[in-house]
Structure 1
């Protein structure tokens, strides 16, 4: 990724800013998804998949930066400590560069079509998230599918297409479920973060929308807490966890997470024996 920045970004200061942003990445999950799908479907051109994987990671990084700037999250990230106008321009440069790199890998029109389809889906899902559009749990799950599921489908589908030139609907289907499962897990963990923007911004998350059904007094009390407080203090955390349990939020989020995983496994089983690919994905799911 650093080499690609040096090749394509001639402006020295912007180049250095982007190197700093790339250096902050501490995982390369999407890169690995592209690689394992490419290998599993018979790809052999190492240079091609490395270029695709690097382009995808740059794209995901640009989305992460946009997301943090829009939500005012991850305040310790280098782009949040940079002048926001500069960070926004840098993210736009990253996005544009990533599209250029990814689209250069294949001349197949459908390859570029799927790339743009997934990125636009994610942007539309992000818009609904930012504007608090979901009013039901089903609408929230659809938003998660578009916002996060599409970005998970992107490396899986493009890695497969680069390997054999074919669009695989089964890969797309299970990748969406993989993205949904990961996002539900992340959203649950976010309930316990020291600085929770979902609570402070009164976001209609899956947990919040579940609480609005007011199944019991605990859910009513917790809903009031979400609507009147900006965050959960460290002193309240044990009581808060008990409230989530009593309200059924903990159990509900676990069930929704497991449902997505089961749908993922059902779809992936259609591919037959692809042990290395399955082991990699399942190990990441179980490690969450």
Structure 2
């Protein structure tokens, strides 16, 4: 990834800025999604797969920076410690480099078309998120599918396409579900953040919209908390978790997460791959996208 920055950005100061941004990136989940699919579908050109993975990670980093700047999140990240206009321009440079790098691995028109389709879907989902548009749980799930599902579909579909030269709608279908499951997991964790809390932003998340139906008194109490508090004090965290369970939020988000995972698994089973290859791919994707921390300490509640 550093190589592509050096090739495309001779401006010394911008070059240093982009390297600093890249140094802060400690996870490469999306390139792994592309590689797993490339390998599973018979790809053998390691250099092409690595180039695709590098371009995808540059794209995801650009999107992460855009997201933090738009949401005013992650104050410790390097892009949040400099002039916002400079950071935005640097992120735009990263975005542009990523498109060039990803596009370089395939001359198939449909490859570029799918790349831009997923990017535009995610941007529209981000718009609805920033505008706080979802008014129902179904609308929220649709927003999640477009914002996060599309970015998960991108490496999965492009990795398979690079290997086969063809678009496989079955890959797209289950990849969306994997992205939805991962985002629901992240949204549950976000209920406990201080610096990035959705509570502080009064966002219409899946949890908030569920509570808005006011099924019981704990739901009403939590809704008031979400509307009046900016964060949950550390000393209240145990009580807060218990109230989430009493209101049904924890169970609801767990079920929605598991429904998406089951749809993902069903989609994998429909692939025209050998049973062993399907099992290997399923395991790798779940391990890469779902880090196993969702409901940590709460699993016993579900048996």
TM range (shorter): over 0.9
Q: Which residue of 2 aligns with 1:34?
A: 34
Q: Deviations over 1:80-125 (max 9, x none)?
A: 1121111100000000110011111111000000000000000000
Q: Which residue of 2 aligns with 1:47?
A: 47
Structure 1 residues 181 and 234: alpha-carbon distance in aligned structure 2, compared to 1, 3 A threshold: same
Q: Which residue of 2 aligns with 1:191?
A: 191
- Conserved? CA contact 2:132–2:203, under 8 Å: yes
CA distance in 2, matches of 1:261, 1:232: 29
Q: Which residue of 1 aligns with 2:285?
A: 281
Runs of 5+ consecutive residues of structure 2 not aligned to the other structure: 294-303
Structure 1 position 135 matched with structure 2 position 135: yes
Residues 153-172 of structure 1 correspond to what in structure 2 (within 5 A)? 153-172=153-172
Runs of 5+ consecutive residues of structure 1 not aligned to the other structure: none
Q: Which residue of 2 aligns with 1:66?
A: 66
Helix, strand or coil: the match of 2:37?
Answer: helix
Structure 1 outlier segments of 4+, above 6 Å: none
Shift of residue 281 of structure 1? 1.1
CA distance in 2, matches of 1:231, 1:16: 36
Shift of residue 75 of structure 1? 1.0
Structure 1 residues 11 and 58: alpha-carbon distance in aligned structure 2, compared to 1, 3 A threshold: same
CA distance in 2, matches of 1:79, 1:72: 11
The CA RMSD measured in Å over matched residues stands at 1.0
Residues 255-274 of structure 1 correspond to what in structure 2 (within 5 A)? 255-271=255-271, 272=273, 273=275, 274=277
- Conserved? CA contact 2:191–2:197, under 8 Å: no
CA distance in 2, matches of 1:170, 1:71: 33
Shift of residue 286 of structure 1? 5.6
Q: Which residue of 1 aligns with 2:176?
A: 176
Aligned length: 288
Shift of residue 234 of structure 1? 1.1
Shift of residue 183 of structure 1? 0.3
What TM-score comes out, normalization by structure 1 length? 0.98
CA distance in 2, matches of 1:168, 1:78: 38
